[in-house]
Amino acid sequence: MNPKIVVIDPTKCSKCNDCVVKCEEVHGVARIKKAEGVPIFCMQCENAPCMKICPVDAIYLKDNIPVVDREKCIGCSMCEIACPIGAIFTKDKVAHKCTLCLDVERITPACVEACGDNALKLICDEYLEAIKEPKRKKLIKVLSEGIKEILY
Amino acid sequence: MLGRNIPYQPTAGTNLYHAEVVSTKIAVNMVKRSRRPLLVIGEYSGEAVKYLEDLKIEKVYTPREMNLLALIKRVPREGYDLVMFIGITYYYLNQGLTYLKHFSDVITLTLDGKYVPNAHYSFPNMEENEHLEAIKRFRMLLDNL
C-alpha cells in the first residue's frame, strides 16, 4: 500500500478550519474539501482512477503518491469525475489534489501539524497491521467461546 | 508496538499539543524528506546506539561533545529542519524539547523507547527488545532508501 495516508477522526474534529487555512498558506489553494464541516482528504489510492483517466498523463506517482504535474495538466476535469471520494478538483485550469506536501519542502504534511485537536493522523501499513492484530485475537476469543457453548 | 493510540494519559498533561506517535516507516520518511537532519545521541542510548552510529547523518553526542542546553540553543540558528534525539535523560530532554517546540520551526523526533510528549513526533512506549527491533528496522529502512 501507499507509504502513508492522512486519516481523520471525525469525532475529534472541532471543524475549526485550521487545516484548510494552513493548506492554503502552503500551496496557494486549499487542497482539502469539506463535507458537513469535516475535511475530506485524498486517499492516495494505489490504483488511482484519477491517474488512469488523465488523457495527458499529468498525474504521476512520486513515492507511490499521485502528484499532479501542473505543466502537463489541461484542466479537463476528467479526474474529478473519476475520483470516488471527490478529493480532486480543478481551479484556475489546473487540477489540485492533496499530495501529503510531497511537492513542497516539508517534512510532514502541513495540515497534520496545524491540527490542534489531534484529529488528523499520518498512518502507514505498519499501523494497519497493529490495528488488525487485536481484532484477530478478539475474533479467536469469540469463536472459541462460541464453540465451547455449542459443544459443552 | 505500533497502533497504541493513547501512549500517554491525556489527563496527565494540561494541553492538547502532545507528540504524535509515529511508526518507524513514517520516521524514515521524515528523515528522507528533510534537507538537513541532525541526530543527537545521549549517554543512555544502550545497545540501540550501535545501529545509529555509522549513519550518514550529522551527529552530536551529548554531553561528550556539547551540553544539551547549548545544542538546543544552536539548533534553530544552524538551519537544521529535523532533529532526532535518543538516550537523553527523560525530564531533561522534555525541557529542551519545550524550547524547540515553542521558539523554533525545527521539527523534533524522539527515537527513545518511551513516549516523549513535548516532541513533535515520538515513538510509542515500548519494551526494551521492542525498541531495539524498532531501531534495527529504522536503520534497515534508512539503508534501503
Please report where in the chains the cell 475474533 appears, as a residue.
A139
- List CB contacts (< 8 A) between B26 and chain A: 4, 122, 124
- The class (CATH top level) of A5-124 is alpha beta
pLDDT recorded at residue B2: 45
Subunit contact A107:B20, Cβ cutoff 8 A: no
- List CB contacts (< 8 A) between A102 and chain B: 33
Task: Quick: pLDDT tens for B62-72.
Answer: 888 999 999 99
pLDDT band at B20; cut points 50, 70, 90: confident
pLDDT recorded at residue A3: 63
Average pLDDT over residues B39-59: 89
Q: Residue ranges of the domains in chain A?
A: 5-124
ipTM: 0.73
pLDDT recorded at residue B9: 56
Q: Closest by alpha carbon to B111, among B81, B139, B91?
A: B139
Q: Which residue of B has its CA nearest to A63?
A: B29
CA distances, B80 to each of A7, B108, B122 (Å): 28, 10, 18
pLDDT band at B1; cut points 50, 70, 90: very low
pLDDT recorded at residue A102: 87
Residues A32 and A40 sit within 8 Å (Cβ to Cβ): yes
Helix (H) or strand (E) holding B83: strand B82-86
Domains and CATH numbers, chain B: 26-143 (3.40.50.1220)
Question: pLDDT tens track of chain A, all 152 residues?
Answer: 566 778 888 888 888 999 999 999 999 999 998 888 889 889 888 889 999 999 999 999 988 889 999 999 999 999 999 999 999 999 999 999 999 888 888 888 899 888 888 888 888 877 777 778 888 988 998 888 888 777 77
Residues A43 and A85 sit within 8 Å (Cβ to Cβ): yes
